[in-house]
Amino acid sequence: MGDWRFDPEMWPDPAAMTAELAEMGVKLMVSIWPTVNARSENFAEMQARGYLAGSERGVLALRDFSDNVPSGKLYLHFYDATNPDARQFVWDRVKENYFDNGVRIWWLDADEPEIRPVDPENVHYHLGNGLEVGNLYPMLHAKGFYDGMRAAGETEVVSLSRSAWAGSQRFGAAVWSGDIPSTFASLRRQIPAGLNIGLSGIPWWTTDIGGFHDGHIEDPSFRELIVRWFQYGVFCPLFRLHGVRRPGGDGTGAPNEVWSFGDEVYAILQEILVLRERMRPYVMAQMAKASEAGLPPMRPLFVDFPDDPACGDITDAFMFGPDLLVAPVVWEGARSRDVYLPAGAAWTDIWTGAIHAGGQTITADAPLDRIPLYLRDGASPPIKA
């Protein structure tokens, strides 16, 4: 933590590696934390220049975490993202060690920053006390990478960020909801979370499909959760599977690929992956609108139907672009759900072809391999083969 480079023993030729991956159609993303180990090669210089966040009282280290030098738990510092010179210093290391070796995409983890114990008033930044300015940290952290990429000639900048603040979208921050539990209750919370961040001006949103913590790959309940979460995730702006799975006694966790949850689940997830790929032109069109006008691809029903007062009460369904109403199944064991169809449009059931008038609530069938989806006024995005 704080070297911001590939371990030369593990990765002796990163430029060749990224080039080989590129030939395979893979773009490498590197996870970069804002933490700084006191034994890292940059710590002494950063400390001398005042590039580290400090504390108002007590020790200067702000959290404990595991690193490999020394192996195991130790106390870590954070670089001060509110200091423009510190941002430039970090970017210079990142450019030399990652960008110049072909990496163009960044995973900005733990950038709240994740301080333990949570005591923002005890953190001192270049801009002031943490209680007053700490929420700016993830936005300014993303800005450092954005500014560096633009200075290097890049025009398309996306960073996957665990946190954000008002204005983070200006710096290409795509936000996910963090290390959430692998439960149906957690899945239910993701819908309003995604809708609200879109309304806050940040259109690029995603979650850890299946949740991050404690999903057991052989548990029937978790296998059902993975299916339902995939069905929701395919209609989020970004679509990604991530998490720590059980069992896995060697400390690395269990497998987490789409084929890891049994044949029945794999067959369903395959179809969902194909669906997302078929939808790529539609998704990219919505992402372009988000970039140009700020309209989030995933949005509450009232955005598209402001004249229907009932839409203001719907928190468990949403529009994905202007043409598609998505009603995720978020309760374990459910094989149907009520869906409100906004007034002012006719709605076609993707699966049956049935047409329903708007302004009513219907009960939609939802077997395990199906998420209720409705097309607006005969629209035809490429949903079905």
**Residues annotated catalytic, as ranges:** 109, 112, 179
For the four alpha carbons of 36, 39, 41 and 44, in that order, the dihedral sign comes to: positive
Alpha-carbon span 25 to 13, nearest angstrom: 19
Cβ atoms of 5 and 95 within 8 Å: the answer is no
The two most distant CA atoms of the chain are separated, in Å, by: 69
Listed residue (237, 194, 193, 231) closest to 209, CA to CA: 231
What six digits make up the tokens of 362?
A: 């219907």
Cβ atoms of 319 and 299 within 8 Å: the answer is yes
Alpha-carbon span 330 to 101, nearest angstrom: 43
Coil, helix or strand for 168?
A: helix
Those residues whose C-beta lies under 8 Å from the C-beta of residue 2, and which sit 6 or more positions away, are 35, 36, 37, 40, 41, 42, 43, 46, 76, 77, 79
Cβ atoms of 95 and 88 within 8 Å: the answer is no
CB-count burial class (<10 Å; 0-12, 13-18, 19+) for 284: exposed
What six digits make up the tokens of 52?
A: 């580290």
DSSP result, 15-32:
HHHHHHHHHTT---EEEE
What six digits make up the tokens of 352?
A: 């049956």
Listed residue (174, 162, 158, 169) closest to 104, CA to CA: 158
Q: What are the counts of helices (DSSP H) followed by strands (DSSP E) for the chain?
A: 10, 21
Half-sphere exposure of 70 (CA within 13 A, CB side): 3
Alpha-carbon span 200 to 334, nearest angstrom: 31
Q: At CA 384, angle to CA 363 and CA 344, rounded to 5?
A: 50
